[in-house]
Amino acid sequence: MHRPLADEPTRLAATEVWLIRHGESTGNRDGVLQGQEDHPLSPFGHEQCKRLADRLATTRFSALYSSDLTRATETARYLSERWGVETQIDSRLREIHVGDWSGLPNAEIAQRFPEEWQRWQDRDPTLKRGGGESYADAQLRVTMALTQIAKNHPAERIAIVMHGGVMRAYVASLLALDLRLIWHFSMMNTSICKVRPFAQAMGGSRPRLGRIDSLNDHAHLMGLRPGGATPAV
């Protein structure tokens, strides 16, 4: 159903996109790098999702999208059941692919792939970890996907459940930030990032593609333990 945001002035009548990171997964809990390896939510992740669904119970959304990875679809299910809307699955919203690093803890990665690990510590955005994607690759993929999704919902509010690494890469794209800067902000499990993609890029030497209304909003997790930030991917 098309539900325009009638209270928005014309000059800001862009799609309001709520990016939501999935709840804590078993991979997050166990401290391994997941990438596109499939991990379900942990018990604590389910508790986070219940809090998220309670918080957003009365917020009106036109559509709900999710990555096809289990930790995202399980998170989206809490919202889908609460809102009575169908989840639209899109594999382009997956986390960055980390190849042979998938499922490994940092200590083992550093031991098995020392040269790549050093490049990773230097935050090289062109590094294809384990033969997977670079952050630049993943940024292009997810930016194209989210741009298309937003265009399909003009002047509406939509929710998209996805992953910390690609969320940060997309935010960098909207603000024309160097990818090396994305490690300076966090995306906690079930945190919300509200963005408004521009219909066309704003001018300048590094054109901005949108604006950020909130970042890493996890107020619904206050008092919930165990908690804290978990690895982005």
Catalytic residue IDs: 22, 95
Measured in degrees and rounded to the nearest 5, phi and psi for residue 208 equal -85, 145
Confirm if 187 and 28 have CB atoms less than 8 A apart: no
Dihedral (C-alpha) 69, 70, 75, 78: value to the nearest 10 degrees? 130
Confirm if 68 and 117 have CB atoms less than 8 A apart: no
Whole-angstrom distance, CA of residue 210 vs CA of residue 136 = 18
Residue by residue, DSSP assigns 92-105 as GGPPPP-GGGTTEE
